């Protein structure tokens, strides 16, 4: 997550950390709102499902970028919240790109 934080700060996004249970959630602010980033890539599926449920209770309506490993991420989460999954947690730029998709101001 350190590389992700550095990449976000390089683009001048404001960040705050929130601990929800055992998981660290990064809150990123941009011109159109806020996005939560949670790194679930190092957890077993059962653990990150619990972390996900806890996070959605605390941040029920906030868009989320979930950093996950492989194809363990299920369609259930995608159907119940705005989520972009990032399969390469080592790439801070990949996470930033996902964040920017959610924070990009709409142009008409």
pLDDT of residue 92: 83
What would the DSSP string read from start to end of 35-94? EEEEE-TTS-HHHHHHHHHHHHHHSSSS-EEEE--TT---HHHHHHS-EEEES-TT-HHH
Give the residue, 101 or 40, on which the prediction is more confident: 101
pLDDT of residue 45: 67
Residue 70 reports pLDDT greater than 70:
no
Instruction: Find the mean pLDDT for residues 59-73.
Output: 74
pLDDT of residue 80: 56
Give the residue, 57 or 81, on which the prediction is more confident: 57
pLDDT of residue 95: 85
């Amino acid at each position: 997550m350190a590389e992700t934080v550095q990449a976000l700060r390089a683009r001048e996004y404001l960040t705050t950390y929130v601990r929800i249970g055992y998981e660290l959630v990064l809150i990123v602010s941009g011109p159109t709102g806020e996005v939560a980033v949670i790194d679930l890539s190092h957890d077993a599926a059962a653990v990150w499902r619990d972390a996900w449920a806890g996070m959605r209770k605390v941040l029920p309506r906030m868009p989320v970028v979930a950093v996950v490993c492989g194809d363990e991420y299920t369609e259930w989460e995608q159907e119940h919240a705005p989520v972009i999954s990032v399969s390469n947690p080592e790439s801070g730029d990949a996470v930033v790109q996902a964040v920017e998709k959610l924070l990009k101001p709409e142009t008409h």
